[in-house]
Amino acid sequence: MTLWKILGDAGLLEITNGIAAVVEAAHCAGAVCIMAHPGRKDITRYSEAMLDQLLQEIPLDGLEVYYPLHSQEQTTMYLDYAQKHDLLTSCGSDSHTPNRAPIKYRAEQSRQLLERVGIQVQ
The reported pLDDT for the residue numbered 93 is: 85
Percent of the chain predicted with pLDDT > 70: 100
How confident is the model over 21-48, as a mean pLDDT?
92
How far is it, in rounded angstroms, from Cα 111 to Cα 114?
A: 5
Q: What is the mean pLDDT of the chain?
A: 91
How confident is the model over 25-47, as a mean pLDDT?
91
pLDDT digit string, tens, across residues 67-120 = 988 999 999 999 999 999 999 999 998 887 888 888 899 999 999 999 999 999
The reported pLDDT for the residue numbered 5 is: 87
Domain range list for the chain: 31-116
The reported pLDDT for the residue numbered 4 is: 80
The reported pLDDT for the residue numbered 89 is: 96
pLDDT of 53 higher than 90: yes
pLDDT of 1 higher than 80: no
Task: Annotate 38-69 with b (16+ C-beta within 10 A) or e (fewer).
Answer: bbbeeeeebeeeebeebeeeeebbbbbbbbee
pLDDT of 24 higher than 80: yes
How far is it, in rounded angstroms, from Cα 119 to Cα 121?
A: 6
Q: Are 90 and 65 in contact (CB under 8 A)?
A: yes
- For the entire predicted model, the pTM comes to 0.83
Q: What is the CATH number of domain 31-116?
A: 3.20.20.140
